[in-house]
Structure 1
Amino acid sequence: MKNIILKGILLFFGFTSQLFAQNNDVLTYASPEEVGLDSKMIHQRVDSIISNGIREEAFPGAQVLVAKNGKIIFHEAYGFHTYDSIQRVATNDIYDLASVTKVTAALPAIMKLVDEGKIDLDRPFSDYWTRWKKVESKKDLTLREILAHQAGLVPYIIFLNEVLDGNGTPKTKYIRNAPSRKFSNQVYDHLYIKNNFFKRMYRLIDKSAVSDEKKYKYSGLTFLIYPELVKQLTGSSYDYYLEKNFYLPLGAPTMGFTPSKKGFSNAIVPTEVDTLFRHSLTKGWVHDENASLLGGISGNAGLFAKATDLAKLMQMYMQYGVYDGKRYFSEATVKEFIKVQYPENDNRRGLGFDKPLLNNSELNLEDAYPAPEAGKSSFGHSGFTGTFVWADPKNQLVYIFLSNRVNPSRDHRKLYSLNIRSAVQQVFYQSTLASE
């Protein structure tokens, strides 16, 4: 009866029923018990897994956020920013997302362009990235093949080798310590890249090998060129396009590039002590060297965000393109991108999105990716710095894991060997209340 009266009041003052219904697709907070999960079990098991990870130096600190049925039912921070135990991790800290950038920056832009008919997944990508028209090995590749990592592109090119000499010293041809007219693109504190260096990157990508054998082979190369492609097709800079169309409408203000320039009050969690290029603790600037040579704004890495902002974007995907009453993509587009594209080639990938192993439900936790209980329709991505995002439409579960496992160095790999991210995720599948 109260809801009926409230609807009448809203309509009387000119509000629509659509506005009234918006609360149904917006994340709110609740206890685990409200969605049928056991709070005590969750806290005991997650605390144990994360505490062991810190003891084993898998990471100095971490953060976990889980939303179930549209309710944030768990959001906890653990440990410290670094192993000196000076600054504790807080739930509003901002993290370098690394390759999670692929599905939270490059992919939404591409999805919108596909939705608007400005890109066709099955036409040659060279119809849009026209410099590939003259590259015999690449001119016929489709965006579908590329996004599903089925195109045979090489995984990575170390562009840092182009800007450092044999002794590891920056070449003044490409790197300067002070800005100027030709060196205005900042890559770190007191480091500036030549403005047109990106053209050399594109040339090297053009020349890179393409395998004749079309099978699953992960490649991040094209994600370096998507920002320029978005600019060409929309007339807007990549970062502005993302803020205007996604981050600000979603109410995700910390999501973006080059956070050290934005004056956030949130602490930014540092990543690696860089001994190759920046020779300091990398903080507030992208960890990935290739993204840094693009001024920190790229499609492969460079995005930063806090957990709650990430959760909004992943919830929007899980709701097939809708959040807070606003439609960002058509349902058909989202479902196409999160679908396995080439299962006949033993390729688990969707379009840009990662997916569970094809036989995931049959595996033990140690061999599974992600947790064995994750639904076949689930999707997400991991990041080199120790980040992970995953959404499961079947189980209505969004899982965000943030850490800086590369601190103090990328040699810290126990996050993987201990399978921490999947182990934590599994807790939320197994913690159903006994009464259920």
Structure 2
Amino acid sequence: MKTFRNKILLTITLHFVWALHPQQNDSLPYAHPSEVGLDSVYIHSQADSIITNGIKEGAFPGAQVLAAKNGRIIFHKAYGFHTYDSAQAVSPNDVYDLASVTKITAPLPALMKLVDEGKLNLDVPFSTYWKPWQKRKDKRDLTLREILAHQAGLQPYIVFLNKVRKKNGQLKKRFVRQQPNKRFQKQAYEGLFVKNRLGRKVQRMIDRSKVSEEKKYRYSGLPFLIFPKLIEQLTGEGYETYLEKHFYGPMGTKTLCFNPKQKKLPNAIVPTEIDTLFRHTLTQGWVHDENAALLGGVSGNAGLFGSAHDLAKLMLMYQNYGALNGQRYLSEKTVKEFTRVQYAENENRRGLGFDKPLLGNDTLALKDAYPAPAASPESFGHSGFTGTFVWADPEEQLVFVFLSNRVYPTRERRQLYDLNIRTALHQVFYKAKIEGK
């Protein structure tokens, strides 16, 4: 670690996208910050300072920052290394475990499309579509609007790993095997195969989970574990197939995928945690989140991997309220509905699936704000446990992507939060405006 810190200023990897990415057919256009009225020197000096300090303080071994203004990428730099041994420098094309950013980049676009098509209604009981909830008194009247806005009172989280581990930490053979067979085909990691029917057990546990009678903002990732199955039921297509067919394929987002180790992407995959609970090794190329891993790496709460460039495409589509490069993916009406605050009267800042700025965020100091205090009330995005963050601001025409592996080597590292790195970086791109432009 000490050797790594001593080498930072000399070996930090700084990549300018317009130099590294000759215009590809499926790439976004690039511009110098000055072309869109931003101060390039200010941006580079501030971003470099914030990230370099974050690396020195052990917030992450490396990171990426991407910003797009007026539909053009004006900043994309890769800093540091994959791990603290300085063996592999971060590259702009590297792929990251997106953690909870998955929620708005995988199940959510599918749900929005189903709303567009009239196959889902936000304000009828969700049990209309998810039949097991018709038998649950505390769930049968909950609406999809309440669920997506985290206003339904659902339990925040269930640690399903506890169901497949013995008290001594060993895995139960009736749930996890080291070799695949007909009943164990879902792969959670190299040499770990999960029982095919475990997904049904997970769904039953969610169906039976308790619901709070007090209806207030309470973040819950549980429904995102069942959304993939719901999407398959309503479309008649596999969850991954549906996303590839309607979104990732047409957009040219070649790195957005689940289980990238199996997809054999040419891009390097940045590792996450040295796992001491489940896999007992460095987790790389397989989802970090244990619940998603037990579902074979394909879920709605976590599991998606991707590059900063491909994430920017998807966020630009949202920023344009459903359109990208002349093609419409979602209706403007639906995207605007999903990205507005739903229950402000209950002090709930959330949109439908999307995170929103804190209520009154523009009045807060940088240390208290989320995201940047200068972000408009119309802006939206999501963060991820592994150290990821994406945000789109239609009013300011600004997309911001931050990727890191802050959980390396352990999830106990909280310097990313303590130093308020993502908020400070985000604010840089708002403060960089050149007067008179």
**Aligned: 1:314 with 2:327:** no
Displacement of 1:365 in angstroms is: 0.5
The code of the aligned residue for 1:168 comes to G
CA distance in 2, matches of 1:359, 1:59: 30
Three-state SS of the structure 2 residue aligned to 1:186 is: strand
CA distance in 1, matches of 2:262, 2:182: 20
Aligned to 1:380: 381
CA distance in 2, matches of 1:283, 1:60: 15
Aligned to 1:213: 214
Displacement of 1:435 in angstroms is: 5.1
Aligned to 1:346: 347
Displacement of 1:434 in angstroms is: 4.2
Displacement of 1:325 in angstroms is: 1.3
Aligned to 1:113: 114
- The C-alpha deviation readout for 1:208-247, integer Å capped at 9, x for no partner, is 1100000000000000000100111111110110011000
Aligned to 2:250: 249
CA distance in 1, matches of 2:435, 2:101: 35
**Aligned: 1:272 with 2:308:** no
CA distance in 1, matches of 2:150, 2:423: 23
Aligned to 1:185: 186
5+ residue gaps, structure 2: 1-25
Aligned to 2:418: 417
- The C-alpha deviation readout for 1:13-59, integer Å capped at 9, x for no partner, is xxxxxxxxxxxx98310000000001011000000000000000000
Three-state SS of the structure 1 residue aligned to 2:66 is: strand
CA distance in 1, matches of 2:261, 2:334: 34
Aligned to 1:29: 30
Q: Assess, with a 3 A threshold, how the Cα gap between structure 1 residues 235 and 402 changes in structure 2: closer, same or farther.
A: same
Aligned to 1:337: 338
Matches within 5 A, 1:81-100: 81-100=82-101
Aligned to 1:236: 237
Three-state SS of the structure 1 residue aligned to 2:163 is: helix
CA distance in 1, matches of 2:159, 2:385: 15
Displacement of 1:408 in angstroms is: 0.3
Task: Note if contact 1:26-1:323 (Cα within 8 Å) is conserved in structure 2.
Answer: no
Q: RMSD of the alignment, in Å? A: 1.0
Stretches of 4+ moved more than 6 A in 1?
none
TM-score norm. by structure 2 comes to: 0.93
The code of the aligned residue for 1:132 comes to W
Aligned to 2:61: 60
CA distance in 2, matches of 1:328, 1:71: 19
Displacement of 1:204 in angstroms is: 0.9
Three-state SS of the structure 2 residue aligned to 1:298 is: coil
CA distance in 2, matches of 1:435, 1:408: 46
- The C-alpha deviation readout for 1:348-402, integer Å capped at 9, x for no partner, is 0000000000110000000000000000000000000000000000000000000
Task: Note if contact 1:26-1:324 (Cα within 8 Å) is conserved in structure 2.
Answer: no
**Aligned: 1:200 with 2:201:** yes
TM-score norm. by structure 1 comes to: 0.94
Aligned to 2:290: 289
The code of the aligned residue for 1:363 comes to L
CA distance in 2, matches of 1:124, 1:159: 26
* Aligned residue-pair number: 412
Aligned to 1:5: none
- The C-alpha deviation readout for 1:329-358, integer Å capped at 9, x for no partner, is 110000000000000000000000000001
Three-state SS of the structure 1 residue aligned to 2:79 is: strand
CA distance in 2, matches of 1:427, 1:91: 20
The code of the aligned residue for 1:110 comes to L
CA distance in 1, matches of 2:419, 2:306: 25
Aligned to 1:357: 358
CA distance in 2, matches of 1:342, 1:433: 36
- The C-alpha deviation readout for 1:406-429, integer Å capped at 9, x for no partner, is 000001111001110010010000
Aligned to 1:152: 153
Aligned to 2:264: 263
5+ residue gaps, structure 1: 1-24
- The C-alpha deviation readout for 1:299-321, integer Å capped at 9, x for no partner, is 00000000110000000000010
- The C-alpha deviation readout for 1:251-277, integer Å capped at 9, x for no partner, is 101101000011111100000000011
**Aligned: 1:429 with 2:430:** yes
CA distance in 2, matches of 1:269, 1:427: 25
- The C-alpha deviation readout for 1:184-210, integer Å capped at 9, x for no partner, is 111100100110001111111111110
